[in-house]
Amino acid sequence: MRQSHTAVVARNAAWNGPFATEPWEAAWAAEAIYFVRLLTPVAFRVIMQYSVEISPDGIHWVELSQGTFDFNEHNVLAYRQLKHFGGWLRLSGNVHCYATHPDQMQDVRFMAYLTLKS
């Protein structure tokens, strides 16, 4: 029987600039999906340039893949599927908010989930 597990690796995170999620041990899994959700829809673009990183020990990291999530008020959920990733996983990168007023950026908060399946 296959097993699955979903971990919340970032909760209500106020990312504007560099970020990294909590690392997660995933050696038992055959596949993984990162989901990133913008908690409150905003009327401006939020661009997340991300890297999926792998590690043999959860301390030293190397990039596995990279990409871009483009969030706005109509697009608040993004995902990245993974296979062949080794022992530990985390998501890192930079978030750029294109708000017209600096105080709008206080509303930009994220949830990140890591779903693993054997």
pLDDT of residue 105: 64
Tokens of 52: 């999926």
pLDDT for the residue numbered 75: 92
With 0.75 as the threshold, say if the pTM is over it: yes
19 close to 76: Cβ distance less than 8 angstroms = no
What is the per-residue pLDDT across 18-42, written as a single tens digit (0 to 9) for each? 999 999 999 999 999 999 999 988 8
Q: Give the domain extent around 28.
A: 4-117
Q: Which residues of the chain have pLDDT under 70?
A: 105-106
Task: Say how many domains are in the chain.
Answer: 1
Which CATH number characterizes residue 97's domain? 2.60.120.380
Amino acid found at 73:
E
pLDDT at 51: 97
Q: How far apart are CA 75 and CA 78, in angstroms?
A: 8
